[in-house]
Structure 1
């Protein structure tokens, strides 16, 4: 028994240290991203013209697909529903308050192949690029930051409809091409 006690305690200590470091890293990320403010769903939001079930993968800084953002409502991978209306897109992630992307904030939607912790077949993800509000913070610049939210559409038949519906309301109309990398 004593010959197993020391290795067991050593393994337990290493695991505890790893969990502590992961927790500390996530807290630091949340502090770093505390000024990023998602848009709430407006009370007078228009009815959705399209709803699609998806797997929400992540939201990252635009052009940095390996840098996950810890934004309220968009921090964790989960099943989600995208609801597209004439005034914007609502991201309804299970267990979180819905996040609204106003029509004016949409910068485009494109196929993608990978992002943080997810690689799929060619163009198996959808990347919604949009402007995210930044709360006033004396230590940081206020304004907006472009981010990319990644989704995997559950029903392949909905994939083209989601792209078309978002492109129809997008002021940028930037989703005409395909992109295999983020």
Structure 2
């Protein structure tokens, strides 16, 4: 095989892989198009605010099924705010309010799609968006105990995993 043939075959393989990735992401977005748009945090008053690395939002119970709509598809640096009205994820290009009534639980996690950290290094916030339950994974910059406690304090129906610190 000549050098030129190798280069052409390699370039064709790269193009095919990129096309497969784009088609896969578009299919994922179509699969989640039934998700209603999250609420905007208009007038939200925070009791606690902390910098975070937003890791992912997935379908609840399926840490491999990344949600790809409403600005929740990509990892980003942002902020999490907790107040009596709920939890706000302030991410580049979007701000999402998780109302207290839709908050289902919070617990520590170690991994989700494409991210593994030390045991308990992520916070997993389980919430309802429309008719679907979601898990949002956050890595708080610094001490995450105050954020975990603040979310547990506003949780309307504490679960067994949310009851103990």
The TM-score normalised by the length of structure 2 is 0.94
Shift of residue 177, structure 1, vs aligned partner: 4.0
Shift of residue 131, structure 1, vs aligned partner: 0.2
Where does residue 100 of structure 1 map in the other structure? Answer: 97
Where does residue 135 of structure 2 map in the other structure? Answer: 148
Between 35-44 and 55-64, report the one with greater CA deviation. 35-44
Q: Write out aligned runs for 1:51-90 (5 A).
A: 51-90=49-88
Paired residue secondary structure (2:2): helix
User: For this pair of structures, how many residues does the alignment match?
Assistant: 163
Residues in 2 aligned to 1:112 and 1:176: alpha-carbon distance in whole angstroms: 15
Paired residue secondary structure (1:27): helix
Paired residue secondary structure (2:56): strand
Shift of residue 172, structure 1, vs aligned partner: 1.7
Residues in 2 aligned to 1:4 and 1:60: alpha-carbon distance in whole angstroms: 44
The one of 64, 88, 91 aligned to 2:89: 91
Structure 1 spans left out of the alignment, 5+ residues: 134-143
C-alpha root-mean-square deviation of aligned residues, in Å? 1.4
The one of 101, 119, 122 aligned to 1:122: 119
Where does residue 176 of structure 1 map in the other structure? Answer: 163
Residues in 1 aligned to 2:115 and 2:105: alpha-carbon distance in whole angstroms: 21
Residues in 1 aligned to 2:38 and 2:58: alpha-carbon distance in whole angstroms: 16
Paired residue secondary structure (1:28): helix
Paired residue secondary structure (2:49): strand
Residues in 2 aligned to 1:74 and 1:38: alpha-carbon distance in whole angstroms: 11
Are 1:131 and 2:128 counterparts?
A: yes
The TM-score normalised by the length of structure 1 is 0.85
Shift of residue 38, structure 1, vs aligned partner: 3.5
Where does residue 141 of structure 1 map in the other structure? Answer: none
Residues in 2 aligned to 1:84 and 1:55: alpha-carbon distance in whole angstroms: 16
